[in-house]
Amino acid sequence: MNAPLFPTPLKTLLNPRSVAVIGASEDQSKFGGRLYKTLLQHRYAGAVYPINPGRDTLFGLKTFPNVDATPEAPDMVIMALPRDKVKAEIAACAARGAKAGIIITSKFSDAGPEGLALEQDIVATAAEYGMRLIGPNCLGLISPVNKLVLCSSPALNVEQLIEAPIGFISQSGALMGTLFDRAHGMGIGFSHCVSVGNQADLELNDFVEFLIEDERTEVICSYVEGIKSPERFVALARRARAAGKPWLMVKAGATDDGSRAAYSHTASMAGDYAALKAICERENVVMMDDPLNMLSLARAMVRYPNRRVRDVALITTSGGGGAITADQLSHAGIGLARFNAATQTGLAEHYAEGQAANPIDIGGRKHDGTAELGVVTAEIALSDPAVDLGLMVLTTAPDVPGLTRQLADGAERPSAGHKPTLYVMLPGRVAAPARAMLIERGLPYVDTLAEAMDMLKAWKSWSNHQAADTPVRPAGMAVTRAAAQGALGEGPSKALLAQAGIAVNLERLVRSADEAVAAAADIGYPLVLKVASPDIAHKSDVGGVALNIADADDLRARLARMQARLAQAAPQARIDGYSLQAQESGELELIVGARRDAQFGPQVVVGAGGVLVELLKDIAVLPAPVDAKSARRAVLALKIAPLLGAYRGRAALDVDAIVDTIVRLGWLAHDLDQASGDFEIEVNPLKVRLQGQGVVAVDARARIGQA
């Protein structure tokens, strides 16, 4: 039987009219028993068909020996069977007319080639009948808005599911169950949670698309281990942004696979994780490190939709706590709002001299008999136009619950503008009643400053997103093609850069001292001498670079010393000659490079260069081609960016020339990606001169085609 022309949409699949639990049991030590009980416990409204040939009833419901015996074809089936029985069961369910199936069983593609082959066979079997599959190797789904729980996690043993417009997709079932448990305890609910497992059929992108279209979901959360369809991922990120739905993501595997590559720094710095991060930054998919903080931020974004957070008002019960928090806010790049005169005047009525600024220590109050000072303080502070969010840091005090309630009341007064608040509940059991009050009122809270900073950094990142312009090829820049494949030496690499309009220094390849002296007369002193060898990646490490060569005698002597050092340090290296170059000066050294990421295509790298590459690891990665505005933002966001400005009598450096180089390198990467597939280019250093004097690439290497 062929698959239907119009597959059943996920909206229907995740809200089935009937569910068959294959392997249903009353034994809570078994997957099937826990699944079945949990489904009934949460009052699913559809028909439930327990499949168990050995029982007549289970928990009062009639059982069926197999799926063929059910009164109608179930919309959804779920099974936790031994691996060898899954294929036959899926075939039977598909033939019966089941629309979707969840396979809990593991040891398929997650266990090697044999399991992968079986997994593919099962998907093909289901596809013949138009049946869609979730998993295998997953923990099912939790859909509070549909009262549908098809998950065996003990985290579901709660009296009632919390409904909230947060969708969560996880490539780890155990993590989904753990986070559901922690979130429930903090009062955080969901619209839908899905564990996608091996993504043999339905995958991450399918569920993201569903959540974008789902009217009951406002914020999308995801835990990601691998992305199957990169182009679709990018398209969905844009759709989520257009729909006004923030997409938050935690990605496992931040260690770059590219770090194993020894050919250039570019490969290691723009490895798989960095490439994905660059795409996410461009599309405003907010990457976070901690999944629980991701859910806390989602709760805050749901409570305060479309609010941008940049500068905060800090209200605390401790001077020390306020100072520590202010430090951490500074480290996180979160600003303390500067109160206007009216705010300061209003606070000065209730606080001692010097205490009417930001942060506000409630302990610095005047004892003027003001009742409910927390209400007054929060209302005045949050009414200030410069404040985007009220950060309430509570320490142990005589009445933590009462003061927390006061702050919440003040923040919710109309004059405070309904601005976001975040409560940091530092005490332990003393703050338990306050936490319960915040949960009851749906107000976001965390228990540590580190959690708060992680949330606020991510919220600010989302708030500050600027859509990239359409990249424009520089005027007069033709499509660039590499003249050769394989590893290119410095000369051919610079020739490739020059084709793209990137400035390079004058260079001649010589093989003897006499050739060198003759070439030097054309180039002019001072000079740089470098070994030319495809076997030596980092020339200075083996004595293969000589600087500041002043005249012919110095040139002969330095070449002889270099040859002697290379004979000791790299005796097996093939020496093609020696590159004699004009020595160029500059005020700052950068590294710029490009490579092709296997998933997301061409990428450009820019960062601190020269000998500081490994030391500072100060880089930005951008998807190519790059628009000038994005290139400028990336350069000015580097840690070394202050060195680009004027200081101590020195004029500013030529940022425009850096931006132009990045744009040209981006188009070169685009052209190589179209023509050659895999490639790497690295320029280190790119010497940056004063404003108006440009930049120049003085060392480069490239690889065109497969390594």
Please give the average pLDDT of every successive group of 10 residues along the chain, which has 707 residues. Answer: 60 94 91 91 94 92 96 95 94 96 93 92 96 95 96 92 97 94 96 95 96 97 92 97 97 59 44 86 96 98 96 94 94 96 94 88 84 94 98 93 96 95 96 96 97 98 95 95 86 93 93 93 92 85 92 94 93 92 93 93 93 81 96 96 92 97 97 89 95 95 83
How is residue 692 written in tokens?
A: 């108006």
In this structure, which amino acid lies at residue 661? T
**Homologous superfamily in CATH for domain 309-463:** Succinyl-CoA synthetase domains (3.40.50.261)
pLDDT of residue 2: 45
In this structure, which amino acid lies at residue 419? K
Residues of the chain with CATH 3.30.470.20: 588-704
pTM for the structure as a whole: 0.90
The answer to whether the beta carbons of residues 453 and 393 sit under 8 Å apart is no
pLDDT of residue 255: 58
Residues of the chain with CATH 3.30.1490.20: 507-582
Distance between terminal CA atoms of the chain?
45
Tell the residue number behind the tokens 């991060």, with chain if given. Answer: 277
Residues of the chain with CATH 3.40.50.261: 309-463
What separation in angstroms does the CA of 426 have from each of 290, 381, 389, 393, 394?
A: 19, 22, 19, 7, 6
The answer to whether the beta carbons of residues 403 and 362 sit under 8 Å apart is yes
Positive or negative torsion for Cα 329, 335, 337, 338? positive
Report the 10 Å Cβ neighbour count for 97.
Answer: 15
pLDDT of residue 8: 78
What separation in angstroms does the CA of 357 have from each of 17, 313, 379, 381, 413?
A: 59, 9, 15, 9, 21
Q: What gap in Å lies between CA 293 and CA 285, rounded to an integer? A: 15
3-state secondary structure 304-332: CCCCCCCEEEEEECCHHHHHHHHHHHHHC
Tell the residue number behind the tokens 């942004």, with chain if given. Answer: 241
3-state secondary structure 402-432: HHHHHHHHHHCCHHHCCCCEEEEECCCHHHH
Q: What gap in Å lies between CA 627 and CA 642, rounded to an integer? A: 22
Q: What gap in Å lies between CA 169 and CA 221, rounded to an integer? A: 6
Q: What is the Rg, in whole angstroms, of the alpha carbon atoms belonging to the chain?
A: 31
pLDDT of residue 134: 96
With respect to CATH, is domain 507-582 assigned 3.30.1490.20?
A: yes
Q: What gap in Å lies between CA 325 and CA 389, rounded to an integer? A: 14
Q: Which of 151, 51, 44 is nearest to 93 (CA)?
A: 51
Q: What gap in Å lies between CA 323 and CA 317, rounded to an integer? A: 11
Answer CATH for 588-704 from 1.10.1060.10, 3.40.50.20, 3.30.470.20, 3.40.50.11720: 3.30.470.20
pLDDT of residue 368: 73
